[in-house]
Structure 1
Amino acid sequence: MISQFFVLSQRGDNIVFRDYRGEVSKGSAEIFFRKVKFWKEDGEEEAPPVFNVDSVNYFHVKVAGLLFVATTRGNVSPSLVLELLQRIARVIKDYLGVLNEDSLRKNFVLVYELLDEVIDFGYVQTTSTEVLKSYVFNEPIMVDAARLPSLGAAAIFMQGTKKMPGTAVTKSVVANEPGGRKREEIFVDIIEKISVTFSSSGYILTSEIDGTIQMKSYLTGNPEIRLALNEDLSIGRGGRSIYDYTSSAGGGSVMLDDCNFHESVHLDSFDIDRTLNLVPPDGEFTVMNYRMTQEFRPPFRINALIEEAGPLKAEVILKIRADFSSTITANTVFVQMPVPAYTTRVSFELEPGAVGNTTDFKEANKRLEWGLKKIVGGSEHTLRAKLTFSQESHANITREAGPVSMTFTIPMYNASRLQVRYLQIAKKSKTYNPYRWVRYVTQANSYVARI
């Protein structure tokens, strides 16, 4: 049960506001934004997703640069409300095609109609795009996708041998193409978030993959779909899954610890040939979630070294090696490393000919930051940083610095080797041949190297 729902821009402008119960003051949006903007409690830089101010609970998530917020005076489950906010954002994106401030302002009538159907008097009714199509009748006003920033959620898929159409992630599930026709196509995304911890000597201490197979369908009539995964896929230790399926390949080359499926997925033949049968609902949804802790080859190797270089001085050397094919390019790579608290100045030295690199020393947080626009597979990059201290170190300097953490996005690459073998769509006629798009993306969840 929530009292209010609102969406704020990065400047704090109130784009959407709906008060369902009248229990919280109308100025809650301003109170929330001031609290988030000037959050300095417990040494944290950003406000947590849930906090309380004057007996009002505030829940928020950041989606596409917007703040989706709910308030309540009641004692409700935080995970429930945060999931609701994510689903509301997904439903709005399904209808508008593009989720940003401009599209919300142009389609505020449609957005308010959606909110009234999703939530009634603070209680959730449905978050299914398919169900909402029976009750919501306003047509979206489409925003030109060409005006979007080039480095957005869509940009990470624009690489590889098979380029995606520009409208791949900016289409509405209800609007037609110019001329009144609807382009028949379906998108399948295999998105993996990897967590790796390296020891100071470079050995892998822990490694884990959290993956998801997402689908977005623009097929009319909701035809049945058959999605085939690796034949040598094993689920659960020893090849037995949490659903008590017996692996067809025993100790297969791809072994998942566990997985779960969307309610629309039929698993009748999954045990035999690793195929999923489903009738996809409208909008974006998760077909399958999976987790893997079996050893895998990490995409990057990080070597970090810090040593004293004289009185009140030290030198840091960071090396990154891309251990994947040269046909693949990682982008938006960002490396950071905490340095001793008494560091006062840092000078950086990059490799000769380095392009697209940014370096910075955050003095307030005592942290080095290194950004690389892109890294081609098989390449190695080095950063040297000279530190100046305000006092002598009386302890082992390596204990006062690090660890090194890294974030990145690698299109058309997946560490688990889980693959979509084929994607079959039930034919309505001999000429029916919709477009099929399969995309792979790997992102860093927690990628850390100790010093």
Structure 2
Amino acid sequence: MNLTKYLAIHILREDLCYLAIVAKECSPLLVIEFLQRLHEVFGTYFGQSVTEASVRENFVIVYQLLDEMMDNGFPFTTEPNSLSEIIPPPNVFRAVVGGITGQSNMKADMNTGSMSMHPWRKAGVRHTTNEIYIDIIESIDSTVETNGMAAHTEVSGEVAVQCKLSGIPDLSLFFSNPHILDDVSFHPCVRYNRYEQSKVVSFIPPDGNFKLMNYRVKGQLQLPIYVKPQITFSTNGGRVNVMVGSKTTGGKVVEDIIITIPFPKFVTTATLSANYGTVQYDDITRIAKWTLSKIPKDKSPILEGNLSTTAAATMDSNPVVQAEFKIMQYASSGLKVDTLTLHNESYKPYKGVRFITKAGKLHFRS
């Protein structure tokens, strides 16, 4: 086989490698987007965490999904709502019946999405209670220098929707400050021309869970927490002092904080303690993890301790401390939702919007 005729494009997701072999010239972003959509569909079918074990356990469904999602080398059906009508998600009952009868779990009938004017939405959807929930999840990526100044800060956001609306609802999502959004990408249901003209996200949603849009926000953004690491080494060992606190968060509580310190290989032992939270140190990986349920208001959490090092210890740069956290009902970018309006239907649905801010790649140099 002449390998020079082919291109290999891959993505890495959760320790899994998705590889596509391309025989003809095409847009690499198209292939990457298809592989990403494949990973998201696997997450919908097998749970949020897609692992090698889950793929092996459901290899028959994996083959069926690939057969439906790709037709003669071209992306075909990639919407989870449409795929779930053709290939039901796995459960114990279907696995037992399939093992006994040997029959496939694929449905012979045409899915209702193919009979709809909107292929991402099933026809004739009915719900006893009409409701829609929107989660705006933002991740902060930043590198903070030893002087406390951020070398760069960027917010990556996604708008996740859980839709349980009857009929063919036509929705419009209005932001108070849409001008701050950069690099916006949308679900196919969004009318892109209208967003370009008026910055209104107008769409007829799929039924169930889906990702409405992704965006980035750049510029001068303030981090909701601060981490002040002081890690020094000498011929006799080392000293650790790390302080954590919250900045302006509009009164919202910073939760689920994890401070990770990867020590260099010449550190033999570490004796660490904290005045708040719990500290765990792994002698094999030489990684210390400081876990705090929240940042208290009456005192500043501090991690302190001593390090033992080998005699030949040399250090070109101090460890880079990593931080994780979560803040509910807080948008680090300052994005605000104005209204969510419903057209084309007479009922009044229950609507809920929730903001979640969490740490992405957040590094503090010591």
- CA 1:330–1:71 in structure 2 vs 1: closer, same or farther (change >3 Å)? same
Q: State the 1:371 CA deviation.
A: 3.5
Give the total of aligned pairs.
Answer: 330
**Does 1:337 find its partner at 2:254?**
no
Partner of 1:277: 202
Q: State the 1:118 CA deviation.
A: 1.0
Contact (CA 8 Å) 2:9, 2:22: kept in 1 or not?
Answer: no
Matches within 5 A, 1:390-401: 390-391=310-311, 393=313, 399-401=316-318
Q: State the 1:387 CA deviation.
A: 0.6
Q: State the 1:312 CA deviation.
A: 1.9
Determine the C-alpha separation between the residues in 1 that align with 2:128 and 2:57: 22
Q: 1:215 aligns with which of 161, 166, 169?
A: 161
Q: State the 1:346 CA deviation.
A: 0.9
Partner of 2:357: 442
**Does 1:126 find its partner at 2:77?**
yes
Q: State the 1:341 CA deviation.
A: 3.5
Show CA shifts across 1:384-428 (max 9, x none). Answer: 12111111656xx5x432121222333322101102222222263
Matches within 5 A, 1:12-411: 59=10, 61-62=12-13, 67=16, 69-70=18-19, 72=21, 80-94=30-44, 113-129=64-80, 131-132=82-83, 136-137=85-86, 139-140=88-89, 183-230=129-176, 233=177, 235=179, 255-266=180-191, 274-308=199-233, 311-323=235-247, 324-331=249-256, 333-351=257-275, 354-355=276-277, 357-364=278-285, 367-376=286-295, 378=297, 380-391=300-311, 393=313, 399-411=316-328
Determine the C-alpha separation between the residues in 1 that align with 2:71 and 2:252: 51
Contact (CA 8 Å) 2:252, 2:330: kept in 1 or not?
Answer: no
Q: What 5-or-longer segments of structure 2 have no aligned partner?
A: 93-120
Contact (CA 8 Å) 1:192, 1:209: kept in 2 or not?
Answer: yes
Paired amino acid for 1:126: T
| Alignment TM-score, normalising by the size of structure 1 | 0.60
Percent of aligned pairs with the same residue? 26
Q: State the 1:381 CA deviation.
A: 1.7
Q: State the 1:190 CA deviation.
A: 1.1
Contact (CA 8 Å) 2:145, 2:364: kept in 1 or not?
Answer: yes
Partner of 1:27: none
**Larger deviation: 88-97 or 420-429?**
88-97
Q: State the 1:225 CA deviation.
A: 0.5
Partner of 1:419: 336
Determine the C-alpha separation between the residues in 2 that align with 1:99 and 1:341: 31
Contact (CA 8 Å) 1:195, 1:447: kept in 2 or not?
Answer: yes
Secondary structure of the residue that 1:400 maps to in structure 2?
A: coil
**Larger deviation: 106-115 or 299-308?**
106-115
Paired amino acid for 1:120: D
Show CA shifts across 1:350-382 (max 9, x none). Answer: 21xx34x23214544xx4322315224756321
Paired amino acid for 1:302: V
Q: What 5-or-longer segments of structure 1 have no aligned partner?
A: 1-22, 24-54, 144-172, 175-179, 236-254
Secondary structure of the residue that 2:301 maps to in structure 1?
A: strand
Determine the C-alpha separation between the residues in 2 that align with 1:106 and 1:314: 48
Paired amino acid for 2:357: T
Determine the C-alpha separation between the residues in 1 that align with 2:265 and 2:43: 44
Determine the C-alpha separation between the residues in 1 that align with 2:20 and 2:153: 37
Contact (CA 8 Å) 1:338, 1:401: kept in 2 or not?
Answer: no
Paired amino acid for 1:389: T
Secondary structure of the residue that 1:265 maps to in structure 2?
A: coil
- CA 1:58–1:312 in structure 2 vs 1: closer, same or farther (change >3 Å)? farther
Determine the C-alpha separation between the residues in 1 that align with 2:342 and 2:192: 17
Q: State the 1:196 CA deviation.
A: 1.7
Show CA shifts across 1:303-325 (max 9, x none). Answer: 011235x7522111111112235
Show CA shifts across 1:16-60 (max 9, x none). Answer: xxxxxxx9xxxxxxxxxxxxxxxxxxxxxxxxxxxxxxx996946
**Larger deviation: 384-393 or 296-305?**
384-393
Determine the C-alpha separation between the residues in 2 that align with 1:120 and 1:266: 26
**Larger deviation: 342-351 or 79-88?**
79-88
